[in-house]
Structure 1
Amino acid sequence: MDRPAPEAPGGWPLLGHIVPILRSPLGFLPGLAKYGAVVKIRFGTLPVYVVAHPDAVRDVLVPGDIDYKRGLCFERLKPGLGEGIATASGDEHRRLRTLLQPVFSRERLVEYSTIMRTAAEEAVQKWHDGEVIQADEAMDDLALTALTRSLFRFTATEETAEAIKHGMRELTHSLLKRIVLPPAWERVPTPGNIRFRKAMARMNNAIAEVIDAYRAAGEDRGDVLSALLAVHDDDGKPLSDKELHAQVMTLALTGIEAPGATLGWVLYEIGRNPQVAERVRAELDEILGGRPPEFDDLPKLEYLGRVINEVLRLRTPLLFSRRTLKETSAGGLTIPADAEMIYSPYLLHHDARWFPDPQRFDPDRWLPEKAAKLPKNAYIPFAAGAYQCIGKIFATTELTMMTAVICARWRAELVPGTEVREVASALIRPSRLPMTVRRRATA
């Protein structure tokens, strides 16, 4: 008979583990693995089960939407995202996933990759040899440009783009607090909550205006919104304005904050590891021969792909959630019905059992013969199972294309004496990244 999950020590009276997780999430979550495959913590009086072993993650993900729904994390996203593919569960999620598959077809991805490449080329053309850029901010802006052009190619004004960027930053930066604090906290008129509501309203209005403009124009512009407008179910029914809005919001969430932060970390790791930088540039010179990268070049950039995989391991989403639909088991432990569960990519990716010396940056962890030995579900930067991120290939295409454009032409090195800290929200962001950019002699 399965046993109940052990409870982690360190909980506070009434508050449970809220203080430890908010104070030091990057220390608290990986530290839970030593207590078992599934560990109970408390957000106030709410019990939450943290899945801390790949086998237990499999127990949760394989039954997928049969035994589980989205859960706490995604409910806290609904005020910003609405009822889209990122927050839907069960039959509704399967319906939306089927409808949205054509948006990420190979033909569409080729078009998006050209938009991404052009955005990166335009960005680096503004750099000056030897200047210091704030690489974290520059990569956020680059991701924003690529996303808005991919989403709505011809109507993304500066005001629209800024509204989306500001709204998504407010959403992601406050998400951890919104997950662990009780829902009543969101109604308290704190400066942060007021700022959040204003940002959401501004972003929602901007996206609604763009959708109205596209419906009025009635033409395929080769972008994501055109593809969404072309989607119809088996009965010939298109997505409603509400559904369109939610899908755009979801793509904005996954297409700005996450790639912007990841691109910053990629430049940081390449810039501070000379041997890595040399191998990246040698591969780019060999595969591209000085020409701009194309979509079909990206799989050939094998070493760069390993660099990106390793960045996604080190600086990964903090957590995902599920809620049990019935009593079930995970890791040989009993999980009651209607229980909140969390599985943390950050926890799994920093477990020395699967990734020896986990803080060390080592792209060669991802050589095929080494990666094949990893337990299934030890590496899940895009989640996994029925609710795996539908935009995974879009995201990896963007990261590879933009890094290729930048590193083929430029070297970026951290300004000496700069301390870079990991800042945890929904994502792991760099505290700051002042980098000196120098044009490559061969570019």
Structure 2
Amino acid sequence: MLNTPHPVRRRALLAAVATVALACAATLALAVPASAMEAVRCTGRPNSEDDPTAIMGDTQSRITFEATVGDGEGVSSLTLHVPDGTTFSTDDLAVTLLTGDDLMTRNELDYDVSVSGQDLTLDFAAPLEQAGHLNIIVYDVYFPVEGGDQQVGATYELADGSEHQIEGIPTIPVQGVSATEQISRWLEGQAWVQAWNSNRFLHLFFDPTMIVTSFPVVLNGFFMSIAVVAVAFPLAIPLALLLAVMRLSKFVVWRGIATTYVNFMRGTPLFLQIYVAFFGLPLAGISLPNFPLGVIVLMLNSGAYMCEVFRAGILAINKGQHEAARSLGMTSLQTMVYVVLPQMFRQVIPNLTNEFITLYKDSSLLAAVGIMELVMYARTIVASTGSITPYIVAAAFYLVITLPLSKVTRHLEDRVRGHRTRKHAQTAPALAGEKGGSDE
């Protein structure tokens, strides 16, 4: 080779490289199909009653898988790996080959099906040689209850025995099912629930499954109602005190302003006041968020009612208390702050509790202007289901607050009444002694 001319050595080297390249190409041609199968789509059937596009876990659905088949490819079997935790059935399995330019020609295929764990294998009676789309529909599919992106896997085998994997299969987004929905579905299968719901009245007003599903939704409105009242009620107390003092003032202007305000707020419906605030103020260029605006309206209305409670409590204090305080050198303001108001508050606590109950119930009127409180959440469910049960659930949330507070109110009234009785019993002998002494 040392004596061989340089051009000859170059041609020999090129020939050797070409031979190796042809051998590698032949090997790859045997290992890789002429036209590998590609995923076209992989979807689940939507099954949500609320969202027509959502796929819910633990709810009957189906999987539709479609992949391309090349001309002369010779696919002898295909295995679908159904996502872990997903149950499925092969009873109504649909397997077709879509052919033609528009893929509208459906060719039924002969195959044997076998299942091993989560793997569903189709062995075709004759290898698939015609170009088209292989369409597989798996029915009675129940995705995992917790939901998540579900990945379907697929592998296929050719007539020569080589196995290949289909890449790029899209995931199926599945929404999880809450614990309350699971309980509701369990109740639907109970014989006593079915017998209960067979009565139209019970089904409309006291459906056990609807009670379970609406409870967490209405609970959000309960928290909103409590938040509104928890802010509005404390703010209404100083407003009511100020109005009560103004109404008792000897200054005609203050007394007139307070009297006009109280009469107006007590003489017009709260519903009208809410509408004026939410629809009238924006027209005047005043715009506030719904929550603070709702708090302000309830505060202003409740303040007018509590004003009369405080005024009556102040007038109920014996005038001798005022005279005794003044004799000790106290000013009118000191007498009011240190003598009158402490005694007044003890007497009006039952009435204030009643006012809190009324304010809590009146918060339901805010549903008319879009604030998502108890009634608003319940009305949303009723509109979508046609069942009145969510309103009953909302009523239960009101009773959870009002019944215990009503009992507390009665207890406080008994204590106040008992205190007055004991005080009268203590002062009666003294008064009798004074009367007897004067007679002598």
TM-score bracket relative to the smaller structure: under 0.3
Greater percentage in strand: 2
The TM-score, its normalising length taken from structure 1, stands at 0.22
**Greater relative CO (CA pairs within 8 A, separation 6+):** 1
